[in-house]
Amino acid sequence: MEEGLIKRVMASMECGVCGQCYEPDNISVLGYQEDLWFLKVFCSACHTQYLVAAVIREGRMPEVITDLTEVELDKFRNEGKLTADEVLDMHNFLKDFGGDISRLFSRK
Ligand SMILES: [Zn+2]
């Protein structure tokens, strides 16, 4: 899937803090594994930055697995669990779940 399409799909998502829809210009693609995309989104309304892992398939609403805010990221960083390499950490985080995406959703 193309990055431009991913951004359009993610732009239909609402900010978890203020409910404002994201703007495509404020969405950066960090990387992906098959249907799993790692994104950084910034809400222009409340200025919250998120690190998002989402399963995005064509013709479907994205299913967000994690959406950590920058504040939460800082907390993890202080606890020494998160390094500056956010993408790698996301991969490691998902590896801990044994790559079973459906299990992630059932944990909610
Ligand atoms: Zn917001």
- Tens digits of residue pLDDT in 39-77: 999 999 999 988 888 888 877 778 888 788 777 767 666
18 C-alpha vs ligand 1 centroid, how far in Å?
4
Cα-to-centroid distance, 98 and ligand 1 (Å)? 32
With 0.75 as the threshold, say if the pTM is over it: no
User: For residue 87, what are the contacts with CB-CB under 8 A and spacing of at least 6?
Assistant: 30, 31, 38
Separation of 70 CA from ligand 1 center, angstroms? Answer: 12
pLDDT band at 25 (very low <50, low <70, confident <90, very high): very high
Structure tokens at 98: 């044994």
Distance of alpha carbon 60 from alpha carbon 66, whole angstroms = 18
CA–centroid distance, 9 to ligand 1, in Å, is 17
CA neighbor of 42 nearest in space, from 22, 60, 66? 22
Domains held by the chain: number? 1
Distance 16 CA to ligand 1 centre (A): 7
- Among residues 65, 103, 68, 99, the alpha carbon closest in space to that of 82 is found at 68
Side-chain half-sphere exposure of 74, counting CA atoms within 13 A: 5
Domain containing 84: what range?
3-106
